[in-house]
Amino acid sequence: MLEGSILKQLVDGRAEPDTTPLNYGVYYKNTLVALCHALEDCILTSGSAPLVITAFQRGKWYLEEADRYSAIADKAQQIVIMAASEAGFHDHPTSQRENVALVDLASDDPVAEEWHLMILSPDYTAMVLCQELSAADYGPAGVPEHDLERKFYGFWTFDAALVRQTVELAIAHVGHYDPALQARLSDQLALLKQQNPSLQGDEPAAVSHTVSQVVHYLQNSRNDLKGNLAFSLIEDLEQNLVSNELQAFLRMAQLVDLSDPINPLAASEVVSLLEMMGQLLDLPAWQLQRLRLAGMLHRIAPAPDLATLSNDGPSCPLIPEVQALRLMPRLRAVAAIIAHQGERWDGSGYPAGLAGDAVPLESRMLSLVAEFQRRVAKARQDQDPDNIVILGEVLGTCQAEAGEQWDPKLVEILGLMVMGLQQGMSLPSIPTKITLGSGLLNPDVADQTSVFPSSSELLPR
């Protein structure tokens, strides 16, 4: 990372490990274009006027987007565009808008090597923060000839705390060029904080619309690649787009956990427990991989109010967050697992009123493990979190519901898992590695190495 860059300043100023992982990745420019367009378009449907700060590297890249930014300026409180000045940079009509400010970056400014989009408002927050790879980073192949094949290193997020921190850094950087603009931006940021002191950003459910937009843009970009002989790295470009489609959903799931102070590790712990149960069931690698994804994403589809469901027989209402997952063909099986996690063994659950073995195995596993993990997390709030008795107590509540809510055989296996945990193993927790991307969708079975003990090691001695 370049010294003095906004990305480097953000990384250096973070209090690890008490903050959210940044989940770095490498992005082709065509991926970033699609991603930024999706995040920008959501400004047009947000409920309040955001503060928007961007870094375009060069004026000509801004000019390609200037018409779009005219529409965004109709909604935004303020837009700041940082770029190295080029012909036409200050002359475009959008640049003349009262709430659009241009900052001419010096040629030796490290921000001129960065690509940023920061959107901050009380009800819609998003950010892309990236830095272009250097010529040395590209290796022997050198800098690609096609502009859209250029690569950038960084991350994107919906995390309002990160966006707010980065906006403050960007405002300070603007001050090197225009102190008056810096003061105005500081006042606007203070006003946003006054309107919503926490500036928590979107509720997880509201993010699902943005994620759908991101996936649509990325898929359209993939379609544009087909048959385009101008690109030399078609497969790499497509993989990068697919990876970011999945990352969009994983970021939405991460936001759900971040917004839950009682159970912020739900996804990672559910994934770990599912993997343990899957190994005891001797499931194949492809099924374990599908379960991992289901565990990572299971909280993005909140349980519906049972009172609102139809009493006219089994039905399968469309849950918006699950429908969003179905936008990706490779996630449709995962969407089905998540959609049926509310089914009960006795057939009184939702959304389809399935009973017994008619409920998909993965859904039965997910619902049991997720509820076990939730109850343990809740109990730890009221008792000593290191007290292993909690596990047995929560297991007892699940055993009492076997045959009604839960599959009795899976409850027996959960009992084996708890027995192992009580013999000294801590409740496993594997961080959700968002940057794994498309690798989660196309696992190499030979490389699937377990981090859990075998079933024989879980048995009492």
Query: Quick one: 274 and 251 in the same domain?
Result: no
Question: CATH code at 291?
Answer: 1.10.3210.10
Residue pLDDT tens, the chain, 461 long: 888 899 999 988 876 554 566 778 888 888 888 888 888 988 887 777 899 999 999 999 899 999 999 999 999 999 999 999 887 889 999 999 999 999 999 989 999 999 999 999 888 888 999 999 887 877 777 777 777 778 899 888 888 888 999 999 999 999 999 999 999 999 999 988 887 665 555 554 456 667 767 776 676 766 666 655 555 566 666 666 667 777 777 777 777 776 777 888 888 899 999 999 999 999 999 899 889 989 988 887 655 443 444 444 434 445 555 666 666 667 788 888 988 999 999 999 988 899 999 999 999 999 999 999 999 988 888 777 666 788 899 999 999 999 999 999 999 999 999 988 888 665 555 444 444 444 445 433 333 322 222 223 323 32
Q: How many residues does the chain have?
A: 461
Non-local (6+) Cβ contacts of 262 within 8 A are 377, 378, 381
Query: Quick one: 217 and 329 in the same domain?
Result: no
Query: Quick one: 216 and 322 in the same domain?
Result: no
Helix axes 361-382, 266-280, angle to 10 degrees: 130
pLDDT score for 321: 55
Query: Quick one: 234 and 276 in the same domain?
Result: no
Name the token pair of 409. 């055989």
Q: Look up residue 184 and give its amino acid.
A: R
Query: Quick one: 94 and 16 in the same domain?
Result: yes
Instruction: Give the residue from 210, 236, 258 where a domain finishes.
Output: 258
Q: How remote is the C-alpha of 336 from its chain's centroid?
A: 20
The radius of gyration of the chain from alpha carbons, rounded to an integer in Å, stands at 24
Q: Return the H-helix or E-strand segment holding 246.
A: helix 234-258
Query: Quick one: 223 and 287 in the same domain?
Result: no
Are 376 and 336 within 8 A, CB to CB? no
Q: Look up residue 177 and give its amino acid.
A: Y
Query: Quick one: 218 and 293 in the same domain?
Result: no
Terminal C-alpha separation, the chain = 52
Query: Quick one: 173 and 282 in the same domain?
Result: no
Query: Quick one: 247 and 285 in the same domain?
Result: no
Helix axes 389-400, 408-422, angle to 10 degrees: 170
**Domain contains 235:** yes
Query: What is the rounded (10 degree) CA torsion for 36, 42, 44, 46?
Result: -140
Non-local (6+) Cβ contacts of 224 within 8 A are none
Non-local (6+) Cβ contacts of 355 within 8 A are 343, 344, 345, 346, 347
pLDDT score for 1: 80
Query: Quick one: 199 and 285 in the same domain?
Result: no
Give CA–CA dist 381/385, Å, rounded: 7
Are 267 and 370 within 8 A, CB to CB? no
Name the token pair of 249. 């959903």
Three-state SS string over 143-175 comes to: CCCCHHHCEEEEEEECCHHHHHHHHHHHHHHHC
Name the token pair of 130. 């990236």
Query: Quick one: 374 and 430 in the same domain?
Result: yes
**Domain contains 1:** no
Question: Before 443, cis peptide (omega within 30)?
Answer: no
Are 253 and 334 within 8 A, CB to CB? no
Give CA–CA dist 216/213, Å, rounded: 5
Give CA–CA dist 330/163, Å, rounded: 31
Containing domain of residue 48, as a range?
A: 6-258
Query: Quick one: 174 and 293 in the same domain?
Result: no
The number of distinct structural domains making up the chain is 2
Are 300 and 250 within 8 A, CB to CB? no
